[in-house]
Structure 1
Amino acid sequence: MRFIGSTLAALTLAFAAVQPVWSAWPEDRSIEVIVGFAPGGGTDLLARKLTPFLQKRLGEKAQFIVVNKPGAAGEIANASLAQAKPDGYTIGIVNVPAFLYVPMVKKSQYKVEDFRLIARLVDDPTVLVTRADSKYKSLSDVVSELRRKPASISFGHNGTGSNGDLALVALSSAAGVQVNAVPYKGTAAQKTDLLGGHLDFGVISAGEVPELHGGKTGQLKALAQFSEKRSNALPQVPTAKDEKVAVLMSSERGLAAPAAVPADIIKKLQDAVEQTLRDPEFLAAAGGDAPVVAYLSGAQWQQSLQQNSKVLRAVADKAPKQ
């Protein structure tokens, strides 16, 4: 009995010694936020707008660093996050649909089960963007040209399984056309090539074209959005359904952590996100992301993604395996 009592006492002391490590979070070092796309793109900018507000809510000692690990439609970043120490000092933004889709079509470097979702940030419709001086005036014009000359128009997307890639797969199927799809490491590069005349169309998220929000005109124009109804961000832009092309595709972005991160840390982060997304100051600073903010708790988002997975599985089953 003395041995058991001594062992229990030792375990109690060891547990007590460990507790301050978690309770001190995030007071002893910076929190890395991993982003799977290049600087200047929508995910990168969202992370950089969000973190100062999270810092304010987590305390003055909380510090965030955004770390860009672009490539493979976010797979490189997701793998890095999955393999990180589960201590709350490495989190990341995951991008749906690629987050779900990539492991369905290849032996990827991560599994969805490797993560614990913290909160969804935005639900952003996919849009078809081109130069303002483009000869194409509508999605119908594009479809007509592709039927006349298959694969004659180039379309940028952010890698296999990204919302742009899957929107193009859906467009090809729904309209019976062949597209020339060009993968990029991020939206900023797509925009650069669009404006430089090296790419005909970018297939990106509405939040990534704030220069077009509210009916503004500039160097770019949006021809269609692949959503059930017109986004508040682009009320003047018709949906694909408006032009009789049945394509729906959105981009969800949210925070995740390695699966074994303690629940109390996840809760602190989730509460900070929820408060931030309701903060008028953040919404004023969020630019193109403000109209597509769509908070869900980690548990709610997990439940929502179960339905997404069923839809994506049907697409993946028809796709060539890598």
Structure 2
Amino acid sequence: MSAIQVTGLTKRYGELTAVDDVTLSVGEGEFVGVLGPNGAGKTTLLEMVEGLRRPDGGQVEVLGEAVWPRNPRLQPRIGVQLQASSFFERLTAREQIRTFASLYGVGGAIADEWLERVGLTDKADARVEDLSGGQAQRLSIACALVHDPELVFLDEPTSALDPQARRNLWDLLSSLNDTGRTVVLTTHYMDEAEVLCDRVAVMDHGRILQVDSPAALVRGLDAPARITVAPGSLGAEEAAAIPGVAEASEGVDGLVLVTREPGAVLGVLAAGDHLAGVSVQTGTLEDVFLALTGREYRA
């Protein structure tokens, strides 16, 4: 059964079509990422799926229910962390999350547990306006999850977090998904999508360009591998003569060999005792993203 079924979804603002005839299905217990450059329509798409914004066309069903007009039966079953956090003024972090919890009939002890899970126990008595951007982001995520929703929407949840906090949040989100919850997130971090997502939808100009697992998208790109050999281990002319090497050039960390036959090239390097310090870089989700959406700057 689908947790989310989107069919022909469209949203216009004057002459701008922010979301253009999007169709997408998300299965129960699936972790799906929506990727795209700024202005691609990701946030507008999520807001319509969440029931926060009225579509101009198309249909959305979430957990078997229509989301528009606003459906109060869905609200206890979903959790939403918006791109911009809004809190009640002058409340402490503990008061904030306990207030959110009380709206769903959840006790204060569980709210306090969520503060601990996102690493904010030592900031429990700090007012929300005194929290750093990363701390406020973690509090926002805890407020979205405190009522144990079946379906979670996260809009760029790690954008203000330091690397350690990002990794800790990845563990938390993975554990939520492992217990059967459905998670949908938008992110600009390709490594985040590769680690967390079962599938990703790459979006641009209001349309979904491709949907598949990160590994399948990378395989479909057919990008060449780059093999870096330690400096002084091999000459450029000798490397260029290896069967399967399309290009050999000096890089920052050594000699870089570009090839679509990495296995064969590594076999030759091994036979010549040139494997010490070798590194291999294949195609990544970032390569897929750039191939689909281009490299030009976006506002």
Which bin holds the TM-score, normalised by the shorter protein?
under 0.3
TM value normalised by structure 2? 0.24
Higher strand share: 2
Q: Which has the higher contact order (CA 8 A, sep 6+)?
A: 1
The structure whose residues are more often helix, as a share, is 1
